[in-house]
Amino acid sequence: MTAANDEKVPLPSVGFTFNLKRSKSEREAEFDSIDTIKAIEKVLTESGYEVTLLEVSEELPQKLLSKHFDIIFNIAEGENGRSREAQVPALLDFLNLKFTGSDATTLCICLDKALTKHVVLSHNIKTPAFQVVYDRDYKLESKLHFPLIVKPNAEGSSKGISSLSIVKNKRELRRLVTTLFETYTQPLLIEEFIDGREFTVGILGNGDDVKVMRPMEIEFLQKKGHNIYDYSVKQDFIGKIEYTCPPKMKPENERLMMETAKKIYNVLGCRDLARVDFRMSPTKGLQFIEINPLPGLAPGYSDMPMIAEKNGIGYAELVTSVIKIATERYLGDAV
């Protein structure tokens, strides 16, 4: 055997970019726990990748340049501003590095709830009536009818949303808007609350190979007033929420939801994976709520792994599928 044949073929080198959750503060709600980081690292390592952990910090550019990476597995949420989810992808594009997930433009658009709604509306996709307010001196538009729900316009993980977010009159609205401006110092989205069933749809892939998973319904075990899948419920869902997949619904409604999710995914330029949220109203039909092109991957907790598992895709297969799908996308781009 020649010396050349004795040489080991190097493992594919993966840089793994993330923001590490170090506290229970709401500010870090979108960051990932060390358990999630270790779970993803374990899957990638056992699948034959050489993994380098790259926590987001001021040293990240130097770390990215310190060695060759075949691809970056990116789940980083970024640090500040409504463009924060785009910060790492923009840096990766600048350095001409391949990476998983959507690019900076898509992530910027999708974190801005109002901008996302404007885009989907231009493609005749139904979404609740809304307006954006930029300060306390606002006038409620006549097209909006109570009850309304108020959200920070550029937050994820249901930050700023609670059981108090639904208001029934102008006095409650004024009080809530004042509180949210003081807390989040950013524009607020006011939209009509859709009182109906809540669903989320997972998507994997690109182009003709997009796989739309069957929807998962989020059902509240104790129905009191207007139930919403808010920040506190997501932190402690055991005994409060039942996740049903496939949901009990007419086949034509399920098909419409899956087709609409795929259309939204493509319209917004998503890549590799995303999760789309809907409400189904008895009177207003299917309504798009929002999309997450950077869905959480915490095993046993995040919606995306739960949807995947209920669709027959285990956690390890989900994680490895993301990196394989992204790799194939770059190979297709080079053709």
Is residue 131 classed exposed, middle or buried when 0-12, 13-18 and 19+ CB atoms within 10 A define those classes?
middle
- Whether the Cβ atoms of residue 192 and residue 117 lie closer than 8 Å to each other: no
Q: What are the residues facing 288 on neighbouring strands?
A: 278
pLDDT for residue 28 = 76
- The secondary structure of the chain in percent helix, strand, coil, rounded to multiples of 5, reads 35, 20, 40
- Report the pLDDT value the prediction gives residue 57, as an integer from 0 to 100: 95
Please name the residues in contact with 333: beta carbons below 8 A apart, sequence gap of 6 or more: none
| Two tokens, residue 121 | 């509306």
CB neighbourhood size of 303 (10 A): 21
What are the structural domain ranges in the chain? Answer: 3-100, 109-126+196-334, 130-192
102 neighbors 294 (Cβ within 8 angstroms): yes
Residue whose structure tokens are 């885009």: 119
Residue 239: Cβ-neighbour burial (10 angstroms; 0-12, 13-18, 19+): exposed
Reduce the DSSP state of residue 28 to 3 states and report it.
helix
pLDDT for res 141 = 97
**pLDDT per 10-residue tile (average), the chain, 335 residues:** 58 96 80 97 98 97 97 95 94 98 98 97 98 95 96 82 88 95 93 95 95 96 64 59 94 98 98 98 96 96 96 98 97 64
What distance in Å separates the CA atoms of residue 165 and residue 167, rounded to the nearest whole number?
6
> Under CATH, domain 130-192 is a member of which superfamily?
ATP-grasp fold, A domain (3.30.1490.20)
pLDDT at position 3 is 46
Architecture of the domain whose range is 109-126+196-334:
2-Layer Sandwich (3.30)
C-beta of residue 16 within 8 angstroms of C-beta of residue 54: yes
Fold of 3-100: Rossmann fold (3.40.50)
The rounded radius of gyration (Å) of the Cα atoms in the chain is 21
In this predicted structure, what is the pLDDT of residue 239? Answer: 64
Per-residue tokens: 256: 């419409």
Which pTM was predicted?
A: 0.92
The three-state secondary structure class of 163 is helix
H helices of the chain, in order, are 3-6, 34-46, 60-65, 84-94, 104-111, 113-121, 170-184, 231-235, 251-267, 303-310, 315-334
Q: Assess contact for 98 and 64: CB atoms under 8 A.
A: no
